[in-house]
Each structure stands twice: as structure tokens, then as C-alpha cells.
Amino acid sequence: MPGEDVNVRTDVQFDVLAGAFVGGEGDYVSLFEPVAATLEKEGKGYVVASIGKEAGYIPYTCYSTTKSIIENEPELVQKNLQMQFIKECFGPKAIQQKK
């Protein structure tokens, strides 16, 4: 039954997911490579599926920066977002370097 049979934890920080899993905080975990394969090689878990293989193409990209860059260099952030938007809509060749 949804919400009763499974307890989905969203409070564990990404960089400590593997350690939390090895420490007993859950029955399964979603990890990126090479962490998943390393845990399996060390005998601490099993890779049972590939999210990329099962889900197929996932059309998103994630960018990150610090709060100080957003606050101190808003023009840089805006230009980067515009460049990424153009690249996603029209392809990488749409971005040309100024000469």
C-alpha cells in the first residue's frame, strides 16, 4: 500500500548516501558510478538495475553555483543561463565565441 509499505527517505545528503546505506539506513539506495560498483566489489551491496538503462534518455541538465556568485555576479549567472537555453534549443553550434 503506498505510503505504508515503503519509507522513502529524502533527508539524507547525496554525498553520504553510500555510507548511510552501508551503515544500515535503508534496504536500497540509488547511487552513481563508480560508487555502486565499488560497494558491490567490496561485498557491501548488489547492483540490481541501471537507472539510466531502465529510464532511457532523461532530458535535463543540472548546473550549480554558490550563493555568493549569484549575489555578487548576477550578470554572469544570467548570461550563463541564456547561453545554456540557446544551446539546448538550437544545439551547441548556436553558441559562437566572440572574435
Q: Tens of pLDDT along 78-98?
A: 998 888 888 777 776 666 655
- Count of beta carbons in the 10 Å neighbourhood of residue 86: 13
**Exposure of 32 in the CB half-sphere (CA atoms within 13 A):** 3
Grid cell of 44 as nine digits: 557491501
Specify whether the CB–CB gap between 32 and 40 falls below 8 A. Answer: no
Examine the domain organization and report whether 48 and 78 are in the same domain: no
Structural domain contains residue 7:
no
The predicted model scores a pTM of 0.52
Domain that holds residue 28: 14-55
Q: What is the pLDDT of residue 64?
A: 81
Tell me how far apart the 2 most distant CA atoms of the chain are, in Å. 61
Average pLDDT on 7-20 reads 86
What integer pLDDT is reported at residue 23 of this predicted model?
Answer: 94
48 and 65 in a common domain: no
Q: What is the pLDDT of residues 25-78, one digit of tens each?
A: 888 888 888 899 999 999 999 998 887 787 777 766 677 888 999 999 999 999
Q: 51 and 36 in one domain?
A: yes
- Number of domains forming the structure of the chain: 2
Q: Which cell numbers in the block locate residue 53?
A: 538503462
Q: Assess whether 40 and 69 both reside in one domain.
A: no
